A and B are shown apart, each in its own frame.
Chain A
Amino acid sequence: MAASSSNGFRVIGTRPIRHDGVDKVTGRAKYGADYAFPGMLHGKVLRSPHPHANIKSIKIDKALALPGVKAIVTSADLPALPDKMEAAGEQAINLNHLSMNILARGKALYDGHPIAAVAATSPHIADEALRLIEVEYELLPPVMTVEDAMKPGATILLPSLRNKEDGPDKETNVAAHLQFKRGDVAEGFKQADYVIEREFKTAMVHQGYIEPHNAVGIYNADGHATIYCSTQGSFVVRALSAAVLGIAEGKIKVVPAEIGGGFGGKTTIYLEPLSVLLSQKTGHPVKLTMTRAEVLRATGPTSGSTIRCKMGATKDGKLVAAQCWLAYEAGAFPGSPVGAGAMTIVAPYNIPNILVDAYDVVVNRPKTAAYRAPGASNAAMASETVLDELAEKCGIDPLEMRLMNGSEEGTPQTVGPPFKRIGFKETVEAIKNSPHYKSKLTGANRGRGVASGFWFNVGLQSSATVNIHTDGTVSVVIGSVDIGGTRAAQAMIAAEVLGVDINDVRPTIADTDSIGHTDVTGGSRTCFATGWAVYEAAQDCVRQLKERAAKLWEKKPDEVVFENGMLSPAQPGGELKPMSIKQIASRLARTGGPIVGRATVNARGVGPAFATVCVDVEVDPDTGKTQILRATIAQDAGKAIHPSYVEGQMQGGMAQGLGWGLNEEYFYDDRGILRNTGLLDYRMPTCLDLPAIETAIVEVPTPGHPLGIRGVGEVSIVPPPAALANAIYHAVGVRMTELPMSPPRLLKAILKKRAAGEAQAAAAD
């Protein structure tokens, strides 16, 4: 066992090898696409080649006649669902929209929208069958941007969509208008010596998880179904699939496979109900896997957006007012993360006067899904670059500007009660004190940028079981899918409480029949909430262990002490020798039977997350290409259980944020067709595009959590695009307001500045 870490912990804070590591490096780990069953059929999905069209007819006869084709389903095979918000499991969702996204009903709303699904004896036959399905479309004009969608007289995507403001009679593409207000912005701006107002555009981007979506559905003759799939939330898949299929939730079992990345994109359903429906029709297990093109065209990216951000400061750097306007692409159905964007946009700062308007807008693009701190990176791109400009105007170092105005305990949030103890300023200090920020950056066309970010984090529900086996080893059973080191962290928490070796703890992720309800691995909640449940379940074991020792020693449980894995009498001396868990484990049968610790939580008091980053770049002024020279992130983890995985989350989010800033974008042509449906032209950074990302973990414990944990999964993606924009400005003197800051865009800005400079010089002559 590794040496003790600081703060009195024995296991927490150390870096043991993850329990799922060997399976993963030897290729034994089973991902969703690895499942195979006797008699299994293969499914494929026919997708709309048009972004917006009425579906006049779908003819499947020719495709059904192809030898090897066993079944074809369309939306006619799914129950019609109410067009209003309804409960599906634990969430409220418009089930009609959910169902229409699984299989188009009447209308195709984006390039790639599923029209029909085929099951055949081989994937190749299924693929050929798709070519034989005849669909008659009536083309409608595509509506691709929030500006076009919000225009008076815009083509309407969803005829039944209404918003509160416009009332029950007006057709609209605006699903919601939210407003957040504090103080009086007009008065606030009057106090400002400097006001900066900019308009930003950010492109729709995808999470870019390497593993495509997959599902194997097995429908049994008794009406029960099993789904094997890679998901971030097996209980969500169960609830949503049950709702779409019209099957009772309890009749579906979801077995979560290993998952090759999700970042929020695997918190909903696409193929899962189709696999069950095709299995029901054929009597065979049916497997569907997406190609990369399908993933990009038809799963949930995050919103592109238009944001206007106006902020004012006094000349000594005090922020006095902020007014923001945000419109986010929801995709084909309502539900962009614009609310989160609005609530995070100025959250790191204590600003007395705020007015934020936010619009959720449907467009002919795939329905967006969650992506790591959904909505916050877009927003921070706006506010954190405007803040950089204000700092420059005031002549104040941008980190000092953040410290002067930074949120702390007691600062009001944009919405909700004031912050409890938070670690925002500590992340700024950590960057200030980092070797990176202290180093000098020299050389032409080089610049340094900083930015900060906020994310709420969530708590929600988790269940955990901890079993003491007869040899004294321990198994931890949870319902949280492991997407970033969850098993290792949960095993460490149990090992810490029980005082056993980390290698004597086996963590397992159970299917939906084998563990209590557990919400998605998302919202940076798993280590916080599931960790809390595991902590309590292990404490439950401790209580029971004390009872057993008391029984053997003929004492009362409160006369037994448990410390470092040893049970001993509270009164030392006498003949009773301390017992280890191993010793007592072999005697459980004689003291009342097995020990199973259990706990559930509906975790409250979640600790918000903050991060601050620093980025150095060099720009080629002839081509507009940006090379990232150095990057550092400081983030508050509350308490880092396994520091390597905390650093991994920080680096991973930062890498994605830098990719978002540099080159990633959904590129639709004039007809609304997605042109970059592969990872060649959807340009995520490769390892040669990023430096090793330096990390500084800040630990400001979350008040109320038994271990002080703060979620670490998301906030790292919030500041990087803005930091990159600030660095580019300090390198070549142009303020970029559009993402991505790809070479063509940056070169255009550089040449424009150069031309303006030359014109000015000519005028001066």
Chain B
Amino acid sequence: MHAINYEAPKSLDEAVKLLAAHGEKARPLSGGTDLLIQLRAGTRRPEFVVDIKQIPELTRISFSLQHGLRLGAAAPCISIHENSDMRKYYPGLTEAAHLIGSLQIQSRATVGGNLCNGSPAADTTPALIALGAQARVIGPKGERTVPVDGFCLAPGRTVLQPGELLVEFHIPAPERHSSDAYLRFIPRNEMDIAVVGVGAALSLDVSDDRVVEARIGLGAVGPTPIFAAEASKSLIGKTLDAAAIENAARLAIAVATPIDDMRGTAEFRRHVVGVLTRRTLAKAAERAREANQR
């Protein structure tokens, strides 16, 4: 492994300055569960590693029914699972964060890191997409907001420009009868990476079980995580019956562009997108019916 310079700024200002000064030679270090492996394998060779976990804004989780959720990019996954608001209002995102590695890994790994690593198989990204999360980014040219469903460009590549830093996610306040769910398929029962991941968020009108709002995010079935727009739209205004779910599953399969690799064949992945879309929608719907968020 090559020699690196380690910096641990205490403020957002300081971090932005460091990243701006070193540009492409710098890489932010969040939990490090991807970056350290890449450094050791030599697949990323930054000269500067900027540890962002000492910056208060980046590790904060704040929630209110008026403003929704602000989730710091470097908040460890375990703190999401330990947060009662997260478990209550965003159970799908919470379960996605809780699926990443062991408890030890969850104490390091972060949702921001999961997204910025740019892996199509990131567990939390489809859950964020389902919730309509927005990413707040700060860089040398100021601040901007990027929807998570447009954040990843290719495997390992995101919209972040050299010097830019992901600060936090904003997720809208939950509707009264709304909830989310995330399911992934792995060949084993633990310590594995998604072969297919599906996140779904639903808001229901419980008087007639009609879908008010629906969003479906897919993982590991294309070069980036995917927002299944047609499948999501197909549900709105519909009663959530077997036919509606089946139709959404079919539309979700249609936007998946998986490949054959050591984790599964493209054919297998397309089939499982359908299976998990059905299962995730059913689970999110069950939660939304029971929810009384206001």
Contacts and interface: CB of A to CB of B under 8 A. Distances in A.
Q: Do A and B come from one complex?
A: yes
Interface of A: 124, 127-128, 131, 293, 622-625, 627, 662-663, 667, 675-676, 680-681, 683, 685-686, 688-689, 742-744, 747-748, 751
B262 interface: yes
Contact of A681 (B189, B262, B271, B272): B262
Contacts of B41: 293
A680 B262 CA distance: 11
A479 to B, nearest CB: 37
What is the size category of the interface that chain B forms with chain A? 20 to 34
A624 B186 CA distance: 11
Given A663-B188, A680-B191, A743 B275 contact: no
Interface in B250-274: 261-265, 267-268, 271-272
A667 B261 CA distance: 8
B189 A689 contact: yes
A685 B188 contact: yes
Contacts of B185: 623, 625, 743
Nearest to B195: A743
B199 to A, nearest CB: 18
B187 A625 contact: yes
B188 A688 contact: yes
A733 to B, nearest CB: 19
B1 A124 contact: yes
Contacts of A744: 264-265, 267-268
Given A681-B262, A743-B264, A688 B190 contact: yes
B192 interface: yes
Interface in B138-179: none
A623 B191 CA distance: 19
Nearest to A665: B262
Q: Which of A623, A663, A686 has the most CB of B within 10 A?
A: A623
B1 A747 contact: no
A622 B275 contact: yes
A47 to B, nearest CB: 13
Interface in B10-43: 41-42
A284 B272 CA distance: 56
Given A680-B192, A683-B187, 17 more contacts: A623-B185, A623-B272, A624-B268, A662-B187, A663-B188, A667-B261, A675-B262, A676-B262, A681-B263, A686-B188, A686-B189, A686-B191, A742-B187, A743-B268, A744-B268, A747-B268, A748-B267
Top 3 A-B pairs, shortest CB-CB distance: A667-B262, A744-B268, A688-B189
Q: Which of A627, A688, A743 has the most CB of B within 10 A?
A: A743
Contact of A124 (B2, B190, B191, B271): B2
A135 to B, nearest CB: 16
B193 interface: yes
A675 B262 CA distance: 7
B188 A689 contact: yes
Contact of A686 (B190, B263, B267, B271): B190
A623 B275 contact: yes
A127 B41 CA distance: 10
24 contacts: A124-B3, A131-B42, A293-B41, A622-B272, A622-B275, A662-B187, A663-B188, A675-B261, A675-B262, A680-B192, A683-B187, A683-B188, A683-B192, A686-B190, A688-B188, A688-B190, A689-B188, A742-B187, A743-B187, A743-B264, A743-B268, A744-B265, A744-B267, A748-B265
A697 B262 CA distance: 38
Contacts of B191: 680, 686
Contacts of A743: 185, 187, 195, 264, 268
Contacts of A663: 187-188
Nearest to A128: B2
Nearest to B275: A622
Contacts of A625: 185, 187
Nearest to B263: A681
